[in-house]
Amino acid sequence: MPLTDLPLVELRTHRPTVRVPDDFDAFWADTIAQARADADRTGARPETTPADTPVTGLVIEDLTFPGFAADPVRAWITRPAGSGSEPLPVVVEYLGYNGGRSRPGERIAWALAGYVHVVMDTRGQGSGWGGGDTPDPHGAGPHIGGWMTSGIERPQDHFYRRVYTDAVRLVDAVRTLPGVDPERIALTGGSQGGGIAIAAAALVQAHVGPIVAVLPDVAFLCDWEHGADVAVSDPYQELVRYLAVHRDAAETVWTTASYLDGVNFAARITAPALFSVALMDEVVPPRTTFAAYNALGSADKQIEVYPYNGHEGGGFRHWERQVAFLRARS
């Protein structure tokens, strides 16, 4: 497999021009405030029940919390058994494209490393792999199969507005859980999950409180416009196919995308950040990940580069690096 993008020396200084809406911050402040108001109006609150699982060495719970529009969103909470009275640090994880939270006990590494691990189901997804339990009750106009163009005519209607809001509302819920340290919350995810983590990190800092770190892995959803120009596969190609039919919609598409672009969120992140990128990635062009990384407002930031890997990135080896990075900061 060949290198799929610019040489590494150019990627390290790659800072493309990305549209930034004048009302970007106000748009998201209003969105988060409305989601909280919807939960208050309906009385929706986070609820946990023991998970049905044969796993006995960990404590696993099924969390339902109010997300966008107070819609019920599911998550698994996995924590070390017998962790005592000391509150534990938390790792919140978001999932990759079209995946679901799957079965309880399937993701246990973070809990075995001593963290409370919370993995969010992505609304409307979960039928590509894993299996999900969270529907998306909100409709959208005509769009290409997939999620990139769902609601693309207006940022208010876009699928990822709802998902990013869910991601923030999950952190609201996690901070209220017993046995967790609300001052030691980190956000992570791979591919789509990495892009969600970037958006959530900026929004949580602005509307919830500080986080100890953000750990996006081969992050998708950054620099949408240029990603569509160079990506050779889906999901970015969904945008290309949409515009090939809706030939006069480019301005509308890229305006909507600018409210959801990870580069604009990254510029607002000040928490410590560990990114990863794979230079033979055919799904997420490396320039899009570097666009977000180079835009970070963080003084403490690192990026792990995997020159000979595709979208699988650094795998378990990179997870070990994430643990080391997080332990040094929490």
pLDDT tens digit sequence for 236-278: 999 999 999 999 999 999 999 999 999 999 999 999 999 999 9
Q: What angle do CA 324, 220, 200 make, to 5 degrees?
A: 65
pLDDT of residue 84 exceeding 70: no
Amino acid at the residue 307: P
Buried residues in 89-102 as b, exposed as e (16+ CB within 10 A): bbbbbbbbbbbbbb
Strands (E), the chain: 47-50, 58-66, 72-80, 88-94, 116-120, 180-190, 213-217, 273-278, 301-306
- Per the CB < 8 A criterion, the answer to whether 297 and 267 are in contact is yes
pTM of the model: 0.97
Task: Catalogue the active-site residues.
Answer: 191, 281, 311
Residue 41 token pair: 């109006």
Amino acid at the residue 298: S
Residue 139's pLDDT band (cuts 50, 70, 90): confident
Summary mean pLDDT of the chain: 95
pLDDT of residue 1: 58
Mean pLDDT of 147-174: 97
- Per the CB < 8 A criterion, the answer to whether 159 and 183 are in contact is no
pLDDT of residue 49 exceeding 80: yes
Mean pLDDT of 134-146: 81
The Cα 300–Cα 256 span in angstroms is 30
Amino acid at the residue 134: T
